[in-house]
C-alpha cells in the first residue's frame, strides 16, 4: 500500500471524473459508465466483477475466490454522488478532480464524491489490489457497490432479497462515514435514520395578480410558511404529536463518554460560518447531532424567483422536508404522524399534497463484538492512532437491510474528515486519509480472517 500512493491518487482521479449523480435522470449514462469502470478496477485488483441490473441504477458486484473455512466479508459502498449544484461555488469544477492544499495546509483531492463515497470505496479497491499483488487475500470477499445510496437505495432491498444466497457473509464492512477529527480516527456505532418528505400546497389554477385578487384567495406560499412554522416549538423541539414517543434516552455513561471526546462548539460555529450553534435545549451539539431527532427544510420554492419584483399570488408552493431519526423511532410511524399533523393544521382555501421520498430506520451496532475489536486493531495499524467509538448524524439505509435481510452485523469504519464538505461545494478527501484508510482496509481483511464463522 505504501508503495502505490501516487498511482492510487491517479486512479481515484479517474473515478471522480464520472458525474454519477443518481438523482438526475440526465446522468444515467455517466452512472452506467462509472459502474462499468469500477467493475474493471475490481477485476484489475484480482476479483471477479459484474455490473448487475436493478429496476434503477446498476450495482457493481465483485467477489474473490471462495475458499471453504475462511470467513466471508461483505463490503458495501456507493459510487453515486449528490448533485454538485451550486456550481459557481466550486473553486475547481466538481467533476475535474484537482489535488491541492486544504485551508489548513493538508493535501487533498477536490471533487464531488471525493469523500462520499468514492475515495473510501477506492481505499478498499486499492487494499484488495495490494493484497493480491503481494500475497493472497486472507478472506472471502464480496463487494456490493451501489448506485442509488444518495436517493435512499430504492431498489437495493429487492436485489438483496433476490440474491440472498450468494450474499451470505459473516460480517459487513462499510467505509462511508468519518474520523472524529484529524488524528482521531473512529469506528461508528450508530447512525440516524431518515424520513424525506415533500409538502405541496396548491392554490389557484394559475398565478394571480396580487392586487386584483389579493385578500380574496388564500396564498399557497403564505399557507406553506404557516404550516412549516408550526413544526418547531420555542425550545427547538419538533412539534409533531408522538414524534418523541419512541426516542431512547441517553444513559449518563454514554453522555459522559461523549463529553470526554470534547467538542469545541465555538470553533465549530466558526468553521461553519454561523454566529452561534443552535438546537434543542438541554443537549450538547454532539448529543443533538448523534442522538436527537430533527426536522429540517431542505428546499423551499414558490412564486417569482427572478431579479426584481413581480406582484403575484403564486399558484402553488412546495417544500422538501427531512427528519433525522434516532433509536427507537420508526420511519413509517414518523412519516404518518408528520402527514397527519400537516393535514390537521392546513388552513382553508388551499389543497395540501404530501409525499414521502425515502425512509430509513436508525441503526445501532454493538460496541462490543469480535468484529469491532478487529476493526479497532486495524484502524490502529492503518492510522497509527487508537480509534474512538462514535455515532454519526447521517444515514446509510443499507445497514438496516443488511441486518434484516442477511442477518449480519455491520462494521462502520470511515475515513472522511468533518471538514470534507460532503454534499456541499468544494467536497474533498484528505490524501493522508486515503493512504491511512487503504492501510486500514488491508489490515482489516487480515484481522477479520481470524473471525469465527457462522456458516
375, interface contact from ligand BES, Mn ion, none, CB < 5-8 Å by kind: none
Q: Give the footprint of ligand BES on residues 261-280 (CB under 6 A).
A: none
CB of 78 to ligand BES, least distance (A): 6
80, interface contact from Mn ion, ligand BES, none, CB < 5-8 Å by kind: none
The reply on whether position 360 binds ligand BES by CB under 6 A is: yes
CB of 453 to ligand BES, least distance (A): 29
395, interface contact from ligand BES, Mn ion, none, CB < 5-8 Å by kind: ligand BES
CB of 184 to Mn ion, least distance (A): 20
Residue 448's SS3 state is: helix
Q: Give the footprint of ligand BES on residues 162-181 (CB under 6 A).
A: 176-178
- Which one is catalytic: 102, 149, 420, 430? 149
CA–CA separation, 137 and 387 (whole Å): 24
User: Could you tell me if 51 and 144 are in contact, meaning their C-beta atoms sit under 8 angstroms apart?
Assistant: no
Q: Specify the stretch interacting with ligand BES by CB under 6 A; choose among 58-66, 133-141, 149-157, 300-308.
A: 149-157
Taking the chain, what is the end-to-end CA distance rounded to the nearest angstrom? 31
CB of 410 to ligand BES, least distance (A): 12
Known catalytic residue at 80: yes
Please report, for residues 87, 152, 304, the alpha-carbon distance to residue 407 in angstroms, rounded to integers and kept in the order given: 42, 20, 51
The reply on whether position 146 binds Mn ion by CB under 5 A is: no
Taking the least distance from each CB to Mn ion, the nearer of 79 and 131 is: 79
CA–CA separation, 125 and 140 (whole Å): 14
Q: Which of 80, 102, 170, 176 binds Mn ion (CB under 5 A)?
A: 176
- Which one is catalytic: 80, 117, 361, 430? 80
**Torsions phi, psi for 14 (to 5 deg):** -65, -45
CA–CA separation, 84 and 111 (whole Å): 9
The reply on whether position 116 binds Mn ion by CB under 5 A is: yes
Residue 451: CB partners within 8 Å, gap ≥ 6?
A: 71, 170, 171, 370, 371, 374
Known catalytic residue at 249: no
CA–CA separation, 255 and 250 (whole Å): 7
The vertex-286 CA angle with 282 and 289, nearest 5°, equals 95
Q: Specify the stretch interacting with ligand BES by CB under 6 A; choose among 41-49, 58-66, 123-131, 147-155.
A: 147-155
Q: Which of 441, 4, 413, 362 is nearest to 192 (CA)?
A: 362
Residue 57: CB partners within 8 Å, gap ≥ 6?
A: 22, 28, 31, 35, 80, 146, 147, 148, 155
Taking the least distance from each CB to ligand BES, the nearer of 39 and 412 is: 412
Q: Give the footprint of ligand BES on residues 390-419 (CB under 6 A).
A: 392, 394-397
Pairing of strands 294-302, 140-146: unpaired
Q: Specify the stretch interacting with Mn ion by CB under 5 A; choose among 171-179, 334-342, 402-410, 444-452.
A: 171-179
The reply on whether position 146 binds ligand BES by CB under 6 A is: no
Residues that bind ligand BES (CB under 6 A): 116-117, 149-150, 152, 176-178, 194, 358, 360, 392, 394-397
The site for Mn ion (CB under 5 A) is made up of 116-117, 176
Catalytic residues: 80, 149
Amino acid at each position: 500500500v505504501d508503495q502505490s500512493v501516487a498511482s492510487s491518487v491517479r486512479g481515484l482521479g479517474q473515478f471522480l471524473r464520472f458525474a454519477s449523480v443518481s438523482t438526475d435522470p440526465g446522468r444515467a449514462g455517466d452512472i452506467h459508465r462509472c459502474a462499468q469502470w469500477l467493475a474493471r478496477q475490481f477485476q484489475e485488483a484480482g476479483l471477479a466483477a459484474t455490473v448487475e441490473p436493478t429496476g434503477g441504477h446498476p450495482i457493481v458486484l465483485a467477489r474473490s475466490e471462495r475458499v471453504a473455512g475462511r470467513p466471508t466479508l461483505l463490503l458495501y459502498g456507493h459510487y453515486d454522488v449528490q448533485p454538485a449544484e451550486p456550481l459557481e461555488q466550486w473553486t475547481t469544477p466538481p467533476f475535474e478532480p484537482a489535488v491541492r492544499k486544504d485551508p489548513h495546509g493538508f493535501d487533498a483531492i477536490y471533487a464531488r464524491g471525493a469523500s462520499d463515497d468514492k475515495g473510501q470505496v477506492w481505499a478498499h479497491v486499492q487494499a484488495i489490489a495490494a493484497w493480491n499483488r503481494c500475497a493472497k487475500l486472507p478472506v472471502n470477499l464480496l463487494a456490493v457497490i451501489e448506485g442509488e445510496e444518495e436517493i435512499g437505495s430504492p431498489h437495493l432491498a429487492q436485489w438483496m432479497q433476490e440474491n440472498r444466497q450468494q450474499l451470505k457473509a459473516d460480517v459487513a464492512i462499510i467505509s462511508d462515514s468519518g474520523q472524529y477529527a484529524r488524528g482521531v480516527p473512529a469506528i461508528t456505532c450508530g447512525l440516524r435514520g431518515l424520513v424525506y418528505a415533500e409538502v405541496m400546497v396548491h392554490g389557484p389554477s394559475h398565478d394571480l395578480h396580487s392586487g386584483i385578487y389579493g385578500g380574496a384567495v388564500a396564498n399557497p406560499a403564505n399557507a406553506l410558511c404557516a404550516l412549516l412554522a408550526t413544526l418547531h416549538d420555542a425550545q427547538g423541539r419538533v412539534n409533531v404529536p408522538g414524534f418523541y414517543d419512541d426516542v431512547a434516552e441517553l444513559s449518563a455513561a454514554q453522555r459522559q463518554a461523549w463529553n470526554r471526546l470534547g467538542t469545541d462548539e465555538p470553533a465549530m460555529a466558526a468553521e461553519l460560518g454561523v454566529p452561534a450553534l443552535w438546537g434543542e435545549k438541554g443537549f450538547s451539539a454532539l448529543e443533538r447531532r448523534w442522538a436527537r431527532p430533527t426536522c429540517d427544510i431542505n428546499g423551499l420554492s414558490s412564486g417569482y424567483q427572478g431579479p426584481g419584483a413581480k406582484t403575484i399570488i403564486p399558484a402553488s408552493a412546495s417544500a422538501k422536508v427531512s427528519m433525522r431519526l434516532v433509536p427507537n423511532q420508526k420511519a413509517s410511524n414518523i412519516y404518518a404522524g408528520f402527514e397527519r399533523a400537516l393535514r390537521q393544521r392546513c388552513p382553508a382555501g388551499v389543497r395540501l399534497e404530501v409525499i414521502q421520498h425515502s425512509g430509513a430506520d436508525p441503526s445501532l451496532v454493538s460496541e462490543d463484538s469480535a468484529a469491532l475489536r478487529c476493526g479497532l486493531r486495524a484502524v490502529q495499524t492503518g492510522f497509527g492512532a487508537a480509534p474512538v467509538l462514535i455515532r454519526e448524524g447521517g444515514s446509510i439505509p443499507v445497514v438496516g437491510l443488511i441486518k434484516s435481510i442477511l442477518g449480519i452485523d455491520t462494521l462502520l469504519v470511515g475515513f472522511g474528515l468533518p471538514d470534507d464538505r460532503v454534499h456541499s461545494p468544494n467536497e474533498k478527501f484528505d490524501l493522508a486519509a486515503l493512504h491511512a484508510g487503504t492501510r486500514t482496509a488491508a489490515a482489516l481483511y487480515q484481522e477479520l480472517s481470524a473471525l469465527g464463522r457462522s456458516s
